[in-house]
A and B are shown apart, each in its own frame.
Chain A
C-alpha cells in the first residue's frame, strides 16, 4: 500500500504475542489505519491508528494485512 492511503485491518498473521501487542496498542482486525511512510530497503513502516503513530519493523508490517479503501 502506498503512503497516505487508508485501509482496514482484515487479518494479523503471526503469533498470538504479536496479535496481543498490536491489540493492546489499538491495532486490531476491523480497525482503520493510515500508512504514513515507508523507509526503503526493508526499513520500518509508519502507520497512524487513531491518534497515535506507530513504527512497525518490516517483518511486523508484512504480517498486518490491510484492505484498501
Chain B
C-alpha cells in the first residue's frame, strides 16, 4: 500500500516541474536553486487510488546542512518505509553530483525510483547515459524524462508501483564518491563538443568585466521592455477602452441620476468639470476598475513577463555573484538579490523567498529592506501614472530616495545587529531556454493570482472608503494627524486618508492622492512615504508569520522612524 510519494532531489533539477506533471497542480518553477521554499502537496491517481504527492525542497544529501534540507529529510522519516515511494529526481546533465543522494536513499532502504530529468538538455550538451546499465547497477527503476515537455512522465507513473527497497552496503562519504566515479565510467559517455555560444555566454556572465557589462545591459534592457510593454498595453488597449467605450456606457447609464445622491457618490464618485474622471472620481465603478485594469495590470503583465524570462533562463544567480560584494556591506550575501527582485513584483512572495537565506539575522534584514525600500508593481505603476505626468525626474527621484534608504538602512542594520553575514555557497545553473508554453503558463498563473487577490480588495476597499468619506468619519484622524502631515511633511492634512489606506492597498492609496490637487513636490513626498511607511496588510501578515511578533514590532518601528525622518527631510531640506 503506497500512502505517500515524495519527490526529492538536488536543488534546481526540476522537481517542481515533475510535480506539476504528476499532479496537475501548478507550481512556480524557475531556473535557480531554491524556488520551492514551501512544502507543496498534490494528488496522483494510482490504480484508482489517490495518493498524496509531496514536493520537497531541494537537498544535496540526506545529512542536512541547512534548514530547508532538514525539513526535507525529517519529512521522509514521518511514515514507515514500506508505505512510501521516493521519486528521486536527477539532473541528467550532471549525473555525477546527483548520484550521491540516490546512493544515500538506497542505502537507507527507501523504496526509490530514479528519474533522470532534463534528458533533452543532456543530449544537447553531448551527455549520453546508458539507462539500462544504470538500472542494473543500482537495482532500482531508472527512467529518463523531460518534464517541461512531458516526455517519460507516463512511464514514470507506471513504474512507481515497481519500487521496492533494495539492500545496499552503507558507505562513507569518500567511498561513495569513489563508487559514483565507477558508476559514471560505466554508464555515461561524453561526446566532445566545442564551446557553443551558450557556454561562452555562461562563462562571460560570471567574469568581472564582461559580467558587469552584461548585468548593466540586462538590467537596462529589462527596464526598457517592462516600460515598452506596459505603455503599449495602456495606450493601445486599456486607455482606448476606458476613455471611449466604458466612459460612454457609464455616462448613458447615469444620465438621470442625482449627482449628490449617496449611490452616485459610491459608484461614480465626484464629477470633475461635469465629467467622469477615471483618475479622480473615486467611485467603485470608475476609479477602482481604472486603477486595477487601466494602470496596474498592464505593468503587472510586463513586469512578470520579464522577470519570468530572467528566472527561467537562469540569469539571476549570476547577478547574485556580481552583487555579492555590495550586499555583503548590507549584512546579506549575493543571493538576497532574488527575494529583492521578487519583492519588486509583490512584497509577499519576496519576503517568503527570504527563506533561501541561511540565518534569522539575514532574513530580518532582507524582509525589512524589502518592505521599506522595495515598491511593488501596483505602487510603482501608480507612481509612474500620476507622478510621471510631472516628468520622469520626479519618478527617478523616488527610486533614488528608496535606493539610498536601502543602502543606509542595510549598513546600519549590519553594524547594529549582533552576528555576522554568512558566506555564500551556491550552485550556478546553466542557461536554459524555456519553451514558450511553459513561460506563458507561469505568466498566466501569476497574473491570475494578482487578479484574484487584488480586484476584490480594491472594489470593497473603495466602497468602504467612500462610505467613510461620505459620513466624514476620517475627520477625526485627519485633525489628530494634521501637525505631522501638514507641519512636518508639508502635505494637505487630508493626505492622511491615503496613508491610512496604504495599509490596505498601495495602488488605491496613491489613487486617493489624485483628487487632492497636490503639487509635484507634495506628490513626490506622499508617494515616497507610501512606499516606505507601513507595508500593506498582506505583507504585514507574512512578516508576522516569517519573523515572529517581536521582530515584526522591531521592523515596524524602523518603518515609522524612517517615514518620519525621510518625510520631514524631503520637505525641509532636499526640495525647498
Interface residues, chain A, with chain B CB atoms under 8 Å away: 3, 17, 20-26, 28, 31, 36-44, 46, 50-60
Chain-A contact segment, one of B89-97, B137-145, B349-357: B89-97
- Judge whether B423 and A23 touch: CB under 8 Å: no
- A57 and B424 in contact (CB under 8 A), knowing A24-B60, A24-B65, A50-B94? yes
Q: How far, in whole Å, are A61 and B237 apart by their CA atoms in the complex?
A: 53
**Complex contact A52–B63 (CB within 8 A):** no
Once bound together, how far apart are the Cα atoms of A17 and B100, in whole Å? 17
Interface string of B397-428 (1 = CB under 8 A from A): 00000000000000000000000001111111
**Count, chain B residues at interface, CB 8 A:** 37
A34 CB to nearest B CB, Å? 11
Q: Which residues of A contact B63 (CB under 8 A)?
A: 20, 24
Say if the beta carbon of B206 comes within 8 Å of chain A: yes
Name B320's closest neighbour in chain A (CB-CB).
A55
What are 18 A-B interface contacts by the 8 Å CB criterion? A20-B61, A20-B63, A21-B66, A24-B60, A24-B100, A25-B97, A26-B97, A26-B100, A36-B203, A37-B206, A39-B324, A42-B325, A43-B322, A52-B97, A53-B206, A54-B427, A55-B320, A57-B324
Give the CA-CA distance A36 to B430 in the complex, in Å: 14
Inter-chain contact A51/B93, CB cutoff 8 Å: yes
Interface residues of B (CB under 8 A from A): 60-61, 63, 65-66, 93-94, 96-97, 100, 127, 173-174, 177, 202-203, 206-208, 211, 317, 320-322, 324-325, 328, 333-334, 422-428, 430
Number of A-B pairs whose CB atoms are under 8 Å?
106
- In the complex the two chains form, is A39's CB within 8 Å of B428's CB? no
Give the chain A neighbours of B423 by CB distance below 8 A. 56-60
Q: Are B206 and A56 in contact (CB under 8 A)?
A: no
In the bound complex, what is the Cα–Cα distance between A59 and B423 (angstroms)?
6
A25 to B61, CA, bound (A): 8
Contact B60 A25 (CB under 8 A): yes
Known contacts A20-B63, A28-B174, A51-B93; A57 and B333 CB within 8 A of each other: yes
Q: In the docked arrangement, what's the CA distance between A43 and B174, Å?
A: 30
Given contacts A20-B63, A39-B321, A51-B96, contact A56 B208 (CB under 8 A): no
Q: How many whole Å from A27's CB to the nearest CB in chain B?
A: 9
Which of A36, A46, A51 lies in contact with B97, CB distance below 8 A? A51
Whether B317 lies near A39 (C-beta < 8 A) is: no
Most chain-B Cβ atoms within 10 A of its Cβ — which of A31, A42, A55, A60?
A: A55
A26 touches B208 (CB 8 A): no
B202: chain A residues within 8 A (beta carbon): 53
User: B427 contacts which of A23, A25, A58 (Cβ < 8 Å)?
Assistant: A25
Set of chain A residues within 8 Å of B207, measured between Cβ atoms: 3, 36-37
For the complex, what is the distance from the CA of A28 to the CA of B430, rounded to whole Å? 22
